[in-house]
Structure 1
């Protein structure tokens, strides 16, 4: 299954590659050149398909748990000052996505969307310390009666040129459901209360909507 954000790109890419191969077939007389163009075209299209895949994930709904919003590797677990919404110290867990990861963003908890804001910005590499505050990004806060408020931030990277965010203030959302999409590599930061017991480790690979980052009961 593929994410809806990829349909236009997949169709455009397919048409372009078909045209390129028709031109190659009609005008190139060297067989291995034709074959090489066809092979590269197939490989490129398969890469586009894998990038926009949207696998169904069996999220175990629990208001007291925080699930990973994305697929990727844990690159940061540290106390930081969160200056946009909480304006106090929080425990930050950052997950880096490579271009081969699933890029669907999922709601880490279920509940009411209290805050949702888009910020234009730079395109520093996603692991840069300042990317969380200077890059193009969206900030979303979801609240429920057990976990309280959890903030997560989609951050564009050097290759990610578009962030899609579906969360709207006042909306009730289900844990593990689609929250957005980041095109072509980036990271997501999750901000939790100080003292939260974290269930993941640095460099651990996570699955969005499945891996449990923390318990907040």
Structure 2
């Protein structure tokens, strides 16, 4: 992402889910100003602007191609591994390729569909709030999971995982809905992570440590198969 792209992202509209939080920060800041507490007023202004920045919802241009798997989240590719999918996805208990994207508190937190398809299953799992960058977060943390009946009859799993700071996963979709690749399906408030589960023989096209952009970065191509090889971006 270029400097210009970063500026445009920062100036993006605030998603409707964020306005009440921005309003709360603004009202508290106004109260500090009315009381003459100027240091706290300055802090409040900074936090209000940060809250608006956090809930920004930039426009994205999604690559076209039914075999493409697009990143569901902005952030860093934190893990590429072959694992058994979690039970809430109701996928066969056999190895799958899991690509994880970790979002810090400065990333866009609107999540987007990795492929086009129909939501076959939607499941919420309560849990803990350990660091979402840890591998055990996939099993221990609060999460929202859904499976997509994707291209060529393939089942794709997506799991939103709440993190150490996050305390709420918001979904925009329901079971049975049809999604287009890159379509918004939810958000996670504050630091968190999204896992994508793909057939085990699909070869990832990103590396661990690489930055991903929701709705734009291609994580994998379902027509390109091979051993799931983790590699680190330089």
User: How much has 1:105 moved relative to structure 2?
Assistant: 0.8
Find the counterpart in structure 1 of residue 107 from structure 2.
101
Q: Deviations over 1:14-41 (max 9, x none)?
A: 11111111111xxx6xxxxx3x333322
User: How much has 1:191 moved relative to structure 2?
Assistant: 0.6
- Tell whether 2:14 aligns with 1:2: yes
Distance (whole Å) between structure 2 residues aligned to residue 88 and residue 12 of structure 1: 46
Q: Which runs of 4+ in 1 moved over 3 A?
A: none
Distance (whole Å) between structure 2 residues aligned to residue 194 and residue 112 of structure 1: 21
User: How much has 1:129 moved relative to structure 2?
Assistant: 2.0
Find the counterpart in structure 2 of residue 38 from structure 1.
41
Q: Closer, same or farther in 2 for the Cα pair 1:77/1:147, shift >3 Å?
A: farther
Q: Deviations over 1:116-170 (max 9, x none)?
A: 1101111111122211111100111112333721111000111000011223221
Distance (whole Å) between structure 1 residues aligned to residue 121 and residue 62 of structure 2: 23
Distance (whole Å) between structure 2 residues aligned to residue 115 and residue 61 of structure 1: 25
Distance (whole Å) between structure 2 residues aligned to residue 82 and residue 202 of structure 1: 20
CA RMSD of aligned residues (A): 1.3
Could you say what secondary structure the match of 1:146 adopts? helix
Contact 1:146 1:216 in 2 (8 A): no
Q: Closer, same or farther in 2 for the Cα pair 1:147/1:54, shift >3 Å?
A: farther
Distance (whole Å) between structure 1 residues aligned to residue 71 and residue 152 of structure 2: 17
Could you say what secondary structure the match of 1:216 adopts? strand
**Aligned residues, how many?**
208
Distance (whole Å) between structure 1 residues aligned to residue 81 and residue 155 of structure 2: 18
Find the counterpart in structure 1 of residue 84 from structure 2.
81
Find the counterpart in structure 2 of residue 157 from structure 1.
163
User: How much has 1:83 moved relative to structure 2?
Assistant: 3.5
Structure 2-normalised TM-score? 0.85
Give the number of the structure whose alpha-carbon radius of gyration is greater. Answer: 1
Q: Deviations over 1:169-212 (max 9, x none)?
A: 21111111111010010101111111102110000000000000
Find the counterpart in structure 1 of residue 25 from structure 2.
13
Structure 1-normalised TM-score? 0.92
Contact 1:63 1:147 in 2 (8 A): no
Return the structure number with greater relative CO, CA threshold 8 A, min gap 6.
Answer: 1
User: How much has 1:3 moved relative to structure 2?
Assistant: 1.2
Q: Deviations over 1:32-53 (max 9, x none)?
A: xx3x333322211111111000
